Structure 1
Amino acid sequence: MIAVENIHKSFGEAHILKGITARFEKGKTNLIIGQSGSGKTVFLKTLLGLFTPEQGSIAYDGKLYSELTGDEKRNLRQEMGMVFQGSALFDSMTVEGNVRFPLEMFTKQSKSEMQDRIDFVLKRVNLIDAHHKYPSEISGGMQKRVAIARAIVMNPKYLFCDEPNSGLDPKTAILIDNLIQEITEEYDITTVINTHDMNSVMEIGKKIIFLKNGLKEWEGSNKEIFKTDNKAVTDFVYSSELFKKVRQMYIEERN
């Protein structure tokens, strides 16, 4: 679990995060949503330890980040997996090489141990025959799966995903959502997903934090978001015709 207490983050005179308190639960897909400029990206990078808040605290399974030594912070970062918005694969490396990279950087495993782990995670993301292909030779959806395999190869306690469905067609996006949710539950990971994809909210939003202007405007689940009367949330969620219809169906069912 990640516990955030009253964090503030500014850049110069721009006050980006304004006293956010939240809990990101273990074994659940925790989503951060909000309009552009709401503070989602800064919040995610603060959770990753890339930005240091001026006020407040962040605790990882009860350990306050601000009280950790340099070595303890480095160890914590090795327990974090990250899926970047554009996959961020190394074009000059094969699929296998991309997944091996964190193991070579941060472990002292033997080549056979690394290979066993690589084979395991690639099989887990349904990429059995892609070991020797390069990123340019595989689809966008397969690249995302490679990025997920690389993120979990170190067996992380915490998984962070920045717009994991960006650039994917709806069908592939659903497959990626389901894969992230399955891995989260299977390995009991604390997963935090920064997204604007309302299909993801509806499908895997077990816990949702809605940000507006650097404030936590609302929190709840994908079931509760259709019940809320919070105008900021409803304006954001029902900005598309699809979700207006879903909202209307929900109202009709209640009546």
Structure 2
Amino acid sequence: MIEVDNIHKSFGDANVLKGISTCFDKGKTNLIIGQSGSGKTVFIKCLLGLFAPEKGTISYDGKIYSELSGSEQRNLRQEMGMVFQGSALFDSMTVEGNVRFPLEMFTKQSDSEMQDRVDFVLKRVNLIDAHHKYPSEISGGMQKRVAIARAIVMNPKYLFCDEPNSGLDPKTAILIDNLIQEITQEYNITTVINSHDMNSVMEIGEKIIFLKNGIKEWEGTNKEIFKTDNEAVTNFVYSSELFKKVRQMYLEERN
């Protein structure tokens, strides 16, 4: 679990995060949504320990990050996996090399132990025969699965995903959503996803945080979001034609 208590973050005179408090549970897919400039990226970078809030605390399973020593913070960051928006794979490395990279950097495992772990996670994301291919030789959806495999190869407690469906077709995006949710539940990971994809909200939004101008405007589930009267949320969510149709179906069933 990650607990956020009244965090504030500024850059010069710009107040980006303005007193956000929430919690992200283990074994659930937690989504952060909001328009561009709402503070989503800064928020997730604070959760990753890349930015230090000027006020407030962030706790990881009861441990307040700002109160940890430097070595304790480094150890905690090694328990975090990250899926970047553009996958961020190394072009000069094979799929296997990309996934193996964190193990070589941060562990003292033997070569055979690392190989077994790489084989395991690549199988888990359904990439059995891609070990020796390069990123340029595989599709965008496969690249995203490689990024997920690399993010979980260290068996993290916390998984962060920044726009994991960016650039993917709708069918592939749903497959990536389902994979992330399956892994989250299977390994009881605390997963936080930065997203603007309304399909993701519908499919895997077990908890949703809606940010507006650096403030937590609303939180709830993908079922509760249909019932909210919060105008900022409805204006954002129902800009999607798909959501408009689902909303209408919900209202018709309720009546």
Give the TM-score, by structure 2 length.
Answer: 1.00
Whether 1:113 and 2:141 are equivalent positions in the alignment is no
Structure 2 residue 71 is matched with structure 1 residue 71: yes
1:169-202 CA-to-partner distances (Å, cap 9, x unmatched) read 0000000000000000000000000000000000
Deviation at 1:241, TM superposition (A): 1.9
Q: 1:203-214 maps to which residues of 2 (within 5 A)?
A: 203-214=203-214
SS for the counterpart of 1:58 is strand
> Any gaps of 5 or more consecutive residues in structure 2?
none
| Aligned residue type for 2:101 | F
Distance 1:54 1:177 in 2: 33
Matched with 2:192 is 192
Instruction: Give the counterpart letter for 1:166 in structure 2.
Output: S
Contact 2:184 2:191 in 1 (8 A): yes
Equivalent residue, structure 1, for 2:251: 251
Output the amino acid matched with 1:140: G
The RMSD of aligned alpha carbons is 0.3
Query: 1:240 offset after TM fit, Å?
Result: 2.0
Once residues 149 and 209 of structure 1 are traced to their aligned partners in structure 2, the CA distance between those partners, rounded to angstroms, is 26
- The match for 1:97 is 97
Q: 1:193 corresponds to which letter in structure 2?
A: I
Question: Any idea what the Cα deviations from partners look like across 1:194-228, whole Å, max 9, x if unmatched?
Answer: 00000000000000000000000000000000111
The equivalent of 1:216 in structure 2 is 216
CA distance in 2 between partners of 1:116 and 1:241 (Å): 45
Contact 2:198 2:240 in 1 (8 A): no
- Helix, strand or coil at the partner of 2:186: helix
Please name the residue that 2:50 is paired with.
50
Any idea what the Cα deviations from partners look like across 1:3-56, whole Å, max 9, x if unmatched? Answer: 000000000000000000010000000000000000000000000000000000
Shift of 1:245: 1.2
- The code of the aligned residue for 2:239 comes to S
The offset of 1:242, in angstroms, is 1.7
Q: Secondary structure in 2 aligned to 1:109?
A: coil
Inter-partner Cα distance in structure 2 for 1:199 and 1:246: 11
Map of 1:80 onto structure 2: 80
- Pairwise mapping of residues 136-155 of structure 1 onto structure 2 (< 5 A)? 136-155=136-155
Counterpart position of 1:38: 38
Aligned residues: 255
- Deviation beyond 2 Å, 4+ runs, structure 1: none
Consecutive unaligned residues of structure 1, counting only runs of 5 or more, are none
Q: Give SS of 1:177's match.
A: helix
User: Could you tell me the percent identity over the aligned residues?
Assistant: 88
Matches of 2:142 and 2:89 in 1, distance apart? 11
For 2:242 and 2:67, how far apart are their aligned partners in 1?
46
Does structure 1 retain, via aligned residues, the 8 Å contact 2:16–2:214? yes
TM-score (norm. length: structure 1): 1.00
